[in-house]
Amino acid sequence: MHKHNNPTSSPWEILGDMGFLETLIQITCVGVILSEFAVAVVRFPYPIALPNCSDMCGNMEIPYPFGLRKGCYLDHNFFVNCTNSSEPFIPKHTIVKNISLHGQIDTLMDIAFDCYKKGAMVDSKKPSLHSPLNFTVSSTQNKFVVVGCDTYANLNGYQQNERFTTGCRSVCESTRFMVNGSCTGVGCCEVDIPKGLKNVTMKSHSSQNHTIVENFNPCGYAFISKQDTFDFSIDSLRTLRDQQMMPMVLDWAIGNETCNDVENKSNYICGDNSSCQNSEDGSGYRCKCKDGYDGNPYLPNGCQDINECENRNNCNHLGQECINKPGKFTCVCTKGYHLDQSAGVCVASQSSLQVKLLVGVGISFIVMLVFSSWLYLMVKQRKLIKLRQRFFEQNGGLILQQKLSKPENSTATAKIFTTEELKKATNNYDETLIIGRGGFATVYKGLLPNNRIVAIKKSKTVDESQIEQFINEVVVLSQINHRNVVKLLGCCLETQVPLLVYEFIPNGTLFEYIHHKNKASIVSWEIRLSIAAETAEALSYLHFAASPPIIHRDVKSSNILLDSTHTAKVSDFGASRLVPRDQTQLATMMQGTLGYLDPEFMQTSQLTEKSDVYSFGVVLVELLTGEKALSFDKPEEERSLAIRFLSYLKDNRLFEILEKHIAKEGKAEQLKEVANLAKRCLRLKGEDRPTMKEVATELEGLRKMEMHSWINVDSNSEEAKFLLEETSDSYKYNASNKSTNVYDSVRDHVIFDLDDGR
């Protein structure tokens, strides 16, 4: 039997996206690639250089008999000078590009040319190549090529010490009959190289000094070129001079004796498991690995056995087993099979047929099981797609798409996210990414494909009767672009309960900063006053600039977020309601947070913007006292912070309830002003409370007083009063013009619920 030497995302639920089938395919492909790579590694572990000798010059392999230093090459003819690894060369400065153990060297040789201008020669080159002993120009790999329209050229050299000359001529008066890619005589001609040619010289000549063709062919060229590397074109008549060198191939051999002469001599270098072959191009010989062996035949250990059994094409018939032997392999019948002499193949014995039958039945069962599983998963996948579509329609997806496509909503930025996008953003809702958890929703931190960090709110329940209202609020909210309001980026409607996507605010809630001991001292009175003013400005905007107006309904310190510069961001609009233009009050079910709820709303169920004013008053008291709105660890009469604060204020004991470092930092008059403002916000009757616009105006004035620390409130009260009045007037003027000048681009806005302020 003959031998052959042939070199050779985020997790999804299985029922969610069929990912396990894709994974099986990927694993199979990777396994095939790795197995092929392993075979390649085993097949070619053979050394190519002598022990302790380098076999690389730059990126080029240097096999023995060639070498880079003394003791690593056969003789001086095979020395490779690697001083410049990008252009190594052998003796007589022959550049080396590649060395093959089959007896060839890829090299470069200059192009011969003669150039004329107005009939006079202006430049010429007559290159020559003097290669080492037994290095000849390959007759099978090269051609001698002449290019030009007034050109003939000679190739001179020696064949076994006899002089030899060949060449060809190309004459044409125009490029009319030239064919790109064809070197058949018009503009280009070529001749074969004889065997054993060495020490060559080339020269290009002109009959008429290119006077007739100078306008398109001022030069004639001649060169030896490796076959299939030069592609003639009309442009070659002008551009060849810039190329300067052409690739060519040299044949090499060992010594100047034949195999018969040298095989029994001490200088014979063919190693084990190799054979000797006489050089076809002249004297000398080459070594070649025998069939079934591979490696460098010039090394003393010679060629190594190839394990043909690693080739899957060998002994691949049913019942055959491959056994490797030195230089060959044998196919034998495996257990349960015997050789059929007449057919020359292995056939199964009777007992083996029974085993095969059982195996066949088992395989058939497995195939049916896999197919049934695949079919089941396909059905489940289709059901899942239909379910997502039903949720999308049930949650108002078609209504939202229709509203977003209307011209009046052309500026809307709400995006409808898919379930896959949000699962990937949250790593399938990894619990380590939870940044807030409330009674009605959980908030996750997510990362979108554009590297934007977002907060994704996953609600627990939904009121199906309010779907159209929900869609209207999403459209309106997505257009709100206020620096102190958390931005709604979009929603996902493919789940049973819609998911909302908000901008991510990194620094947590105001509640954390004023009620946690480690953070409370960080938030100075100046920062607290700024937070209060910014929150009031946001609520004023929702009440008076949004169209239709928006009542938040759940204003509290845990729904005020802080960014890295402690800028306030009002969030969690899950309890908010749009107010129709023709109504100032809404009858609605009780909703909000104990400690912040408007007492009047609790009695009448009539929702007005003054309900937000009351809740904001509680936040002001939190900022002043550092205490929680409701403390169950205190006596029942002291649990409500608002009631206790008003009691202290009534008894002129304000500074007893203020947080210690706030009482020290803040100016007494300023603290009193803020306390009185909070008192007005906490009045029992809504009509007696100021509007959020008035609250924002006063806080902005007090904030400016804080910024202009040169004002002495006690001694210069008239100037302070003037500054407050000036600020108030300026604010009123701006607020009255917001609806026409500033907020035109944010009409019809609303904001939704976010329990934990994200």
State the catalytic residues.
554
* Pairwise CA distance, residues 148 & 214, whole Å: 10
Which two three-digit tokens encode residue 537? 């400005």
Count helices and strands (H / E) in the chain: 19, 37
SS3 691: coil
Angle between helices 350-394 and 397-404 (to 10 degrees): 60
Residue 458 labelled as part of a binding site: yes
Cα distances (Å, whole numbers) of residue 282 to 134, 268, 286, 450: 8, 18, 11, 69
- Picking from 277, 275, 262, 274, the residue whose alpha carbon sits closest to that of residue 301 is 274
C-alpha–C-alpha distance, residues 284 and 198, integer Å? 14
- C-beta separation of 148 from 217 below 8 A: yes
Q: Which DSSP string do the residues of 433-460 spell out, in sequence order?
A: GEEEE-SSEEEEEEE-TTS-EEEEEEES
Q: Is 506 exposed, middle or buried (0-12, 13-18, 19+ CB in 10 A)?
A: exposed
3-state secondary structure 616-636: HHHHHHHHHHCCCCECCCCCH
> Prior bond to 65 cis, omega within 30?
yes
Identify which of 545, 554, 568, 503 has the alpha carbon closest to the alpha carbon of residue 699: 568
DSSP track, 649-711: HHTT-HHHHS-HHHHHHS-HHHHHHHHHHHHHHT-SSGGGSPPHHHHHHHHHHHHHHHH-TT-
**Residue 278 token pair:** 């006489």
Any idea of the CA torsion for 402, 405, 410, 416, to the nearest 10 degrees? 70
- Cβ–Cβ under 8 Å, residues 146 and 152: yes
- Token pair belonging to 27: 């694993």
DSSP class of 92 = T
Contacts 24+ apart (CB under 8 A), 370-379: 374/21, 377/14, 377/15, 377/18, 377/21, 378/18
Side-chain half-sphere CA neighbours of 447 within 13 A: 5
- Whole-number Å distance between alpha carbons of 109 and 126: 11
What is the distance between the alpha carbons of residues 118 and 580, in angstroms, rounded to a whole number? 95
Beta bridge partners of residue 332, listed in sequence order: 321
The sign of the CA dihedral 650, 656, 661, 664 is positive
Q: Which 3 state secondary structure label does DSSP give 702?
A: helix
Q: Cα separation of 676 and 670, whole Å?
A: 10
Buried b vs exposed e over 101-138: b needs ≥16 C-beta within 10 Å? Answer: bebbbbbbbbbbbbbbeeeeeeebbebebebbbbbbbb
d(C-alpha 225, C-alpha 116), whole Å: 24
Interatomic CA distance for residues 285 and 262, integer angstroms: 9
Q: Known binding site for ATP: residues?
A: 458
Detail the residues annotated as belonging to a binding site. 458
